[in-house]
Structure 1
Amino acid sequence: MSGRKSVFVTAAFVLSVSLAASFLAVMLVSRYYSGLQFDLLNGICSEILEEEPEAEDAVLTALKEYISANAHGLAQRDILSPLGYRRSDFSQSAYRQNVLFSLSGFSAGVFLFFFTILYRNKMEARRIQALAEYLEQVNIGKAVILSAHREDDFSKLEDEIYKTVTFLYQARDAAVQAKNNFAENLSNIAHQIKTPITAISLSVQTMKREYSQKSLEQIQKQLLRLTHLEEALLVLSRLDAGTLVLQREEIDVFTVLSLAADNLQELFAASGTSIDIPERGEMAITADLDWTMEAMINLMKNCMEHNRGGTVHCFYEQNPLYTQILIWDEGKGFFKEDIPHLFERFYRGKNAGEGGIGIGLSLSKEIIERQNGTIRAQNMPEGGACFEIRFYTGGSSQ
């Protein structure tokens, strides 16, 4: 309820009570004056009949005419004024009663007015105290959901306080989660870095005793792994911080897949793996060419590592809602227990390739989802691991 409406209701309440009190006062005053009038007429008639008993018929006739609403005609014959009487001569006895009635009505109105104000102030004080106690509970971390009150001037303030507290709690939970994720990432990074450093140290010790081409190749391999780890961590940190800007432009799906395959040409040749990308006509998605290509490279590379000597297949199609891209291999597929965790950072499945660091799939997922897309992993009915990517047309990803 708005403040203006609340004031209107309060004013209407005071006015209603005042009118009821005024009506009651008028009724009491009317009854009182009716009694005075009756006593006055009764006294006058008694005096007349004592002095002139034979005038009883004339008195009764005058009273009947007065009661029959003919008093106006009688009042036109002014008898008392020539005899020196005034209206005030007959109202002096009621003066005190009039003053008493006036003071009583005024006092009742003042009382009702101040009672209403005091009651309103008391209710406001209670509401303020309740909100203050709620904020105290918030400060010590023991706040509960605000109980529902009737709508009043403080309802909007209560709603805003609840929204602010809810936002603060969400921000706190997000900060705690981010802190936990940061600690977990640091632990995983330390573990990932420890492996190549240990391998390099062992190779260096071997080379100190005797020169070995194999040890030198091992050092180069581990240094390359550290370089890849560093690059991936930098990209992930930019994604987490929101500083990685992805361009929004129309790009052709076949072009993205072909460029990704070209970057893996040497690896495919070395592993004896081929890749099949059918040309299905022009189909465009709104995305960043370079980073989308990076995501596809990671997915194709994952399929290649589990399908050496086989073929990595690609397929894509489009409908009014989304563009779907499928990338699958002819290997044994994913272990069932690995599927829920494949896109977690630093997670490496049971059949993960040697030297992997468990960041590629996580990076692909974040790149795709930040471009209004989704990705999921599944096994093909006839065998083989499959990645299903969807880029949605406008709106939010589903």
Structure 2
Amino acid sequence: MDTRVKGRMTLMLALSVSFAITALTAIFLSHYFAQKQFQMLGNVCGQVMERCPDSKHVILEVLKKREAFAAVTVSENILTSFGYRSWDFLTVGPMAIGGAAVGLGAGIFLFLYRLQYGRRKMEERINMLTGYLAKINTGGKGLLWDRWEDEFSGLQDEIYKTVTMLYQTRDRALAARNNYAENLANIAHQLKTPITALSLAVQMMKEQPSADYPERMKRQLDRMTRLEESLLLLSRIDSGTLMLKRTHVDVFTVLTLASDQLQELFVQSEVNVDIPEMGGADIFVDLDWTMEAIMNLMKNCIEASEAKAVVHCAYEKNPLYVQIRIWDEGKGFAREDIIRLFERFYRGRNRKTDGIGIGLPLAKAIVEMQEGVLSAYNLMEGGACFEIRFYPPREGLR
């Protein structure tokens, strides 16, 4: 109900009460003044009769001219002995009673009209909310645009919140179903390649037992093992069952330990790593899983680098966050790849190795679990750069 309608209803209710009070006041005052008039006239007649006893018949004759008025019982008044009451001498009585009746009737009418109007509006509101829910239950869509301020406003807000939450839940369920189907298709595709390679290797082993087929089979089995481990880790992250043991760790220590784990890959690829010490900068993270995320980023930079190239690392701390940058000297990301880098099973155009496309999504998930943000972009001078920002932990985690 808008402000103007609500104001009119309040005015009508106030008028109805005012009319009723006016009518009751008019009746009371009429009765009061009639009583005073009756008392005064009785006193006058009593004084006259005391002084002139023979005037009784004259007074009675004069008073009989007002016999048309209704009688009201009043005690201890000489006029009562003649059958007269206070209302018999109320000359304004009919007007007062008529005005009081009109005021009382108008008040009652407005009050009943207000009740009927409120009932009708209540039925309209109930029908509107019921129709809205029926529409939603049959699969329709709609919004409660009417913003009335009445006793149903709270119920309307709660219904709207509930329906909005149901829409969001449905959308999330549909997105999860689509992601499940897409992930299942990607997993099947990833498994298809090593299984096919293994089948071919088994067939070729029968014809050429002396070839290096066992080594090929081992590589495919290793790939399947990595895929299995990555999928299990992602499933734990998605379900929220991956437990992190977070402590305050120096960034330089994390970068150094991660590069040490990849030392063999750096040597094999003939790529160097540069990690300058840039002062103390602590982050509140799980050391092992953060190393895993940074190792995946370094692997990506190694794969994009030529021999004799360098993978660079840098970090800095400011009042808002700790920033870590890892970049290479390669060709950078393809323009169409940047927006999809962190999609699961997505493989960029410039990749040189036969990866499965899980390393970057895994790194992003680990970083985001620790109040961090991971992004990627191309440098102006060439090369791809990964940027991590770790924000201060919430009060309950420190």
TM-score, structure 1 length as denominator? 0.79
Aligned equivalent of 1:138: 136
Among 199, 205, 228, the alignment partner of 1:201 is: 199
Deviation at 1:170, TM superposition (A): 0.7
Tell me what 1:65 maps to. none
Deviates more, 1:244-253 or 1:111-120: 111-120
CA RMSD of aligned residues (A): 3.5
Are positions 1:321 and 2:317 aligned together? no
Where does residue 150 of structure 1 map in the other structure? 148
- 1:141-171 CA distance string (max 9 Å, x none): 2131102232000001101110111111011
- Equivalent of residue 183 in structure 1, options 181, 184, 189: 181
Provide the rounded CA distance (Å) in 1 between the counterparts of 2:12 and 2:186: 70
Are the counterparts in 1 of residues 377 and 386 from structure 2 also a CA contact under 8 Å? yes
Q: Unmatched 5+ residue regions in structure 1? A: 37-70
Q: What is the alpha-carbon distance in structure 1 between the residues aligned to residue 295 and residue 190 of structure 2?
A: 22
Match of 2:298 in 1: 300
Q: Which moved more, 1:371-380 or 1:321-330?
A: 371-380
Deviates more, 1:272-281 or 1:88-97: 88-97
- Given that 1:206 and 1:212 are in contact with CA atoms closer than 8 Å, whether structure 2 keeps it comes out as no
> 1:90-127: per-residue Cα shift (whole Å, max 9, x none)?
74598996988877766655544443333322221211
Equivalent of 2:79 in 80, 85, 96: 85
**Residue in 1 that maps onto 2:59:** none
Contact kept, 8 Å, 1:326 with 1:387, in 2: the verdict is yes
Give 1:22 shift: 4.4
> CA-to-partner distance for each residue in 1:206-256, whole Å, 9 max, x for gaps?
012221442111100000000000011111111111222233321110111
Deviation at 1:30, TM superposition (A): 8.2
CA shift at 1:358, angstroms?
0.5
Deviation per CA, 1:348-373, whole angstroms, max 9, x where unpaired?
Answer: 11121322001101111111122111
Aligned to 2:70: none
Determine the C-alpha separation between the residues in 2 that align with 1:73 and 1:140.
78
How far, CA to CA, are the matches of 1:118 and 1:218 in structure 2?
Answer: 87
Contact 1:258 1:277 in 2 (8 A): yes
Conserved? CA contact 1:347–1:358, under 8 Å: yes
Q: Which moved more, 1:97-106 or 1:372-381?
A: 97-106
Amino acid corresponding to residue 307 of structure 1 in structure 2: S
Distance 1:321 1:189 in 2: 39
Q: Secondary structure at the match of 1:389?
A: strand
Identity of aligned residues (%): 49
Q: Deviations over 1:170-209 (max 9, x none)?
A: 1111111111111111111111110111011100110122
Give the distance between the partners of 2:41 and 2:79, measured in 1 at CA.
Answer: 14
Aligned residues: 355
Q: Any idea what SS the aligned residue of 1:250 has?
A: strand
> Which whole-Å CA distance do the structure 2 matches of 1:99 and 1:379 have between them?
94
